[in-house]
């Protein structure tokens, strides 16, 4: 493999290429997805089924998965797998339980009452890949915070397998998490069905979950018709390392993200140049044993890099500029740096906090901002499934005391009807 070795002063071109990788998408995808969305909007289930037959090869036995099939999958599942999922569910539930927001109410001496009401969304759609890339962990990470937030109904869509059946691991995870309904459909057509609703599929308020470029584009185009979690880009990991880091661990974790996608990025930033040949050797040797070798090599060759810095401060500055999805800190006393690491989806501290720990088990969510958006976006969480409304109560006297200020501001903005709505109440109070 040809991983780039860059000194920090020469990293500008690489970082520019990294930022632009997610914009190098074929414009034809947007045109194709736009057509699919419009067809589903007009023709509903008929259009969805036509696309399922076209893209998946045949229509599944059932459009909506019967509850009996879901329960049978759980009953017949490998007990060790179920136990592992239950342990992960416990961790994820405990972590996200700390994110609950109960709103507030403020009362003032003059009778004014102000507050914020917080409640879960009515209905949420969860997209779960179900073909070659089937991720039961995504069911857990998307459904559990929604349930904690109080979402009333969860509708899951997942593509059928080639034989027209659902992926049983996905069904098991859905059963354990309490998904209400499951439909066998995927791609942009499934996203459109959730956004607009069809004769069979209920319209949702928000769509969450990962997918390919067609799914991501559909979510982007439908944002505004429906809320979405985020525009997910390719996976990425950045590792900060010094002399205490273990080359075998560094290489293994870089490869864990590179195997996702040819445009995934795996970057090491180190202040110890002696690590470089050791990590290169481990990358070569470990890749040779992996099933997704071809994808890994493309990812490492195109968007992998080892950036060598003179000091930790420069390394952190580059990390903050990249704002990675996953940031691993393999530095001596890693907890010392957490206050300085502001731009990352999730931070993994120490040699034994490997990124897959967060993907599957520890508790924090694995749905994270990518492509530098960790500068302003947050991971999926309970708050992602809340709707907030404020409320205001003023007495007649309380309004009278502040009416002059409101009228002045409204008139300054030339919104005289706004001013009039306050003034008419003052006039009524004077007459009474």
* Cross-strand pairs, 307: 6, 269
**325 classed as catalytic:** yes
Among 269, 365, 362, 360, CA closest to 311: 269
108: tokens are 């003032």
Place of tokens 């996608």: 261
Q: Contact at 8 Å (CB) between 121 and 206?
A: yes
398's enclosing H/E stretch is helix 396-412
DSSP per-residue letters across 276-326 = HHHHHHHHHHHHTT-TTHHHHHHHHHHH-EEEE-SSHHHHHHHHHHH--SE
Q: Are 273 and 310 in contact (CB under 8 A)?
A: no
Among 325, 328, 355, 366, the active-site one is: 325
- Collapse the DSSP code of 58 into the 3-class scheme (helix H, G, I; strand E, B; otherwise coil) and give the result: coil
Neighbouring residues of 296: CB distance < 8 A, sequence distance ≥ 6: 255, 258, 259, 287, 290
Q: Is 42 left (phi over 0), alpha (psi -120 to 50) or beta?
A: alpha
- Exposure of 278 in the CB half-sphere (CA atoms within 13 A): 14
Alpha-carbon distances of 429 from 62, 109, 397, 423, rounded to whole Å: 66, 21, 9, 10
Strand order in the sheet with 206-208: 181-184, 153-158, 123-127, 206-208, 227-228
List the beta bridge partners of residue 156. 126, 182
Give the integer Cα–Cα distance in Å for 296 and 306: 16
Q: Could you confirm whether 64 is annotated as catalytic?
A: no
- What residues are paired with 226 via a beta bridge? 223
Place of tokens 């944002």: 223
Residue 373: φ, ψ to 5°: -75, -5
Identify the CA nearest to 30 among candidates 218, 224, 223. 218
The one catalytic residue among 96, 326, 328, 366: 326
Q: Which residues are catalytic?
A: 325-326
């Amino acid at each position: 493999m040809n991983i780039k070795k860059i000194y920090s002063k020469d990293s500008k071109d690489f970082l520019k290429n990294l930022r632009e990788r997610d914009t190098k998408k074929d414009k034809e995808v947007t045109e194709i997805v736009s057509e699919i969305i419009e067809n589903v909007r007009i023709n509903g289930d008929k259009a969805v089924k036509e696309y399922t037959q076209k893209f998946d090869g045949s229509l599944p036995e059932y459009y909506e998965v019967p509850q009996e099939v879901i329960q049978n999958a759980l009953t017949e599942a490998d007990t060790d797998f179920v136990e592992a999922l239950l342990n992960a569910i416990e961790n994820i539930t405990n972590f996200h339980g700390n994110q609950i927001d109960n709103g507030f109410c403020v009362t003032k001496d003059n009778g004014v009452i102000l507050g914020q009401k917080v409640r879960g969304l009515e209905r949420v759609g969860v997209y779960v890949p179900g073909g070659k890339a089937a991720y039961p962990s995504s069911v857990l990470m998307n459904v559990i915070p929604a349930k904690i937030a109080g979402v009333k109904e969860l509708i899951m869509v997942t593509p059928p397998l080639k034989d027209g059946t659902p992926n049983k691991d996905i069904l098991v995870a859905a059963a354990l998490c309490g998904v209400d309904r499951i439909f066998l459909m995927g791609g942009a057509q499934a996203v459109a069905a959730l956004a607009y609703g069809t004769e069979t599929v209920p319209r949702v308020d928000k769509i969450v979950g990962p997918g390919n470029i067609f799914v991501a584009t559909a979510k982007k185009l439908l944002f505004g018709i429906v809320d979405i979690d985020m525009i997910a880009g390719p996976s990425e990991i950045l590792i900060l390392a010094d002399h205490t880091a273990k080359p075998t661990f560094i290489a293994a974790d870089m490869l864990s993200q590179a195997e996702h996608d040819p445009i995934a990025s795996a970057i090491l930033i180190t202040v110890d140049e002696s690590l470089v040949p050791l990590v290169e050797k481990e990358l070569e040797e470990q890749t040779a044993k992996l099933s997704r070798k071809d994808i890994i090599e493309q990812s490492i060759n195109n968007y992998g890099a080892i950036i060598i810095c003179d000091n930790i401060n420069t390394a952190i500055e580059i990390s903050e500029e990249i704002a990675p999805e996953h940031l691993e800190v393999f530095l001596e006393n890693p907890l010392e740096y957490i206050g300085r690491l502001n731009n990352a989806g999730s931070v993994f501290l120490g040699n034994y906090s490997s990124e897959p720990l967060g993907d599957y088990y520890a508790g924090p969510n694995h749905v994270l901002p990518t492509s530098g958006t960790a500068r302003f976006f947050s991971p999926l969480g309970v708050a992602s499934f809340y709707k907030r409304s404020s409320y205001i109560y003023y007495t007649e006297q309380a309004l009278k005391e502040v009416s002059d200020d409101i009228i002045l501001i409204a008139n300054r903005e030339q919104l005289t009807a706004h001013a009039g709505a306050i003034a008419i109440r003052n006039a009524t109070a004077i007459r009474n």
